[in-house]
Chain A
């Protein structure tokens, strides 16, 4: 099924969890924060959070800024 990950369409398995997406993006264990459809999903819930087609996922981190 298709989801939108940081503004780009991505294909994931129909039973994919948020943890699967994080792992396949190479972000497992990295310090990130995630919204699904504008709602923050706590880090501890990634593995339990099943995704649905069309979900819009935002993954953010801290970068240099003033």
Chain B
């Protein structure tokens, strides 16, 4: 047979997650912070099957270990979609500045994760500054995936501004509390025409499954994986959980009923 190289005709993706016009197989997006070292970051990202990974933009250490490996050597932009975040920004101006630096760093790359924080204790988003930054960034040509509170009205406004994905929190960043307000998430999902991803608050695999069963398009997590005793194994668990939750959502669950309903037929019983 005259086999073509596989790269010429990539297999069509069943049930893709499409963000800013690009289709992804994986609905699990992972952060790259808090891992023991870059090798562990790489192994966990691989085990998660993530195709989109978040990174932070920070000052380079001048004159310290110039030869040390770089995160983008372990997670090359040729293989992963790099999603620079604005973590640590408390004003719209700082967030916009960070996104512009990220765009330069990544050779014109337009996809960013916008987060403007309001409070160090909760790390809840400052939604007023978030809206302002989103408007500036969209006007400047960025594809904005926006971290926000689980407020359906706000989610709608962010979508109207032109954000390419809305990412409500499930619980505070790094808290591991899981999905706290599932009916708000359902409301956001039902109203949205852009992907809705749970970003923040997942603690373990079942939390990720619940998010997907509610109809979310994906889940973004960092601490739940990096902070686990075995991050690589947890990354694997999260991959399965997101896939299982998505399949269950597509399959359509049975309605909840108060009383039993026998699984075996009543006819033909002996006696």
Among A26, A42, A59, A66, which residue has its beta carbon within 8 angstroms of that of B59?
A59
Check if B60 sits within 8 Å of A60, measured CB to CB: yes
Contact of B161 with A by CB under 8 A = no
Check if A27 sits within 8 Å of B85, measured CB to CB: no
Check if B66 sits within 8 Å of A60, measured CB to CB: no
Sorting the interface of chain B by its residue count into under 10, 10 to 19, 20 to 34 or 35 or more gives 35 or more
Check if B55 sits within 8 Å of A63, measured CB to CB: yes
Contact of B240 with A by CB under 8 A = no
Most buried by B among A5, A8, A43, A63: A63
CA distance A61 to B105 in the complex (A): 7
Contact of A32 with B by CB under 8 A = yes
Question: In residues 44-98 of chain B, which contact A (Cβ within 8 Å)?
Answer: 54-60, 62-63, 66, 70-72, 82, 84-85, 87, 97
**Residues of chain B within 8 A of A26, CB atoms compared:** 63, 66
Contact of A14 with B by CB under 8 A = no
Check if A6 sits within 8 Å of B62, measured CB to CB: yes
Residue of B nearest to A6 (CB): B59
Check if B33 sits within 8 Å of A38, measured CB to CB: no
Check if B63 sits within 8 Å of A64, measured CB to CB: no
Residue of B nearest to A38 (CB): B97
Check if A62 sits within 8 Å of B105, measured CB to CB: yes
Check if A65 sits within 8 Å of B32, measured CB to CB: yes
Check if A33 sits within 8 Å of B32, measured CB to CB: no
Given contacts A64-B71, A65-B85, A66-B223, is CB(A8)–CB(B62) below 8 Å?
yes
Least distance between A25 CB and chain B CB atoms (Å): 5
Residue of B nearest to A39 (CB): B100
CA distance A26 to B70 in the complex (A): 14
Among A6, A30, A42, which residue has its beta carbon within 8 angstroms of that of B104?
A42
Decide if the interface of chain B is mainly helix, strand, loop or mixed: mixed
Check if A32 sits within 8 Å of B60, measured CB to CB: yes
Contact of A58 with B by CB under 8 A = yes
Most buried by A among B38, B60, B66, B84: B60
Check if A64 sits within 8 Å of B105, measured CB to CB: no
Least distance between A42 CB and chain B CB atoms (Å): 7
Least distance between B35 CB and chain A CB atoms (Å): 6
Question: In residues 1-46 of chain A, which contact B (Cβ within 8 Å)?
Answer: 5-8, 25-27, 30-35, 38, 40, 42-43
Among A35, A42, A60, A64, which residue has its beta carbon within 8 angstroms of that of B34?
A64
Least distance between B267 CB and chain A CB atoms (Å): 57
Check if A27 sits within 8 Å of B60, measured CB to CB: yes
Among B41, B82, B104, which residue has its beta carbon within 8 angstroms of that of A33?
B104
Please name 10 pairs of A and B residues whose Cβ atoms are closer than 8 Å in the assembled complex, sorted by A.
A5-B62, A7-B59, A26-B66, A27-B62, A40-B101, A42-B104, A62-B55, A64-B56, A66-B33, A66-B34
Chain B positions near chain A (C-beta within 8 angstroms) = 31-35, 38, 41, 54-60, 62-63, 66, 70-72, 82, 84-85, 87, 97, 100-102, 104-106, 173-174, 220-223
Chain A positions near chain B (C-beta within 8 angstroms) = 5-8, 25-27, 30-35, 38, 40, 42-43, 58-66
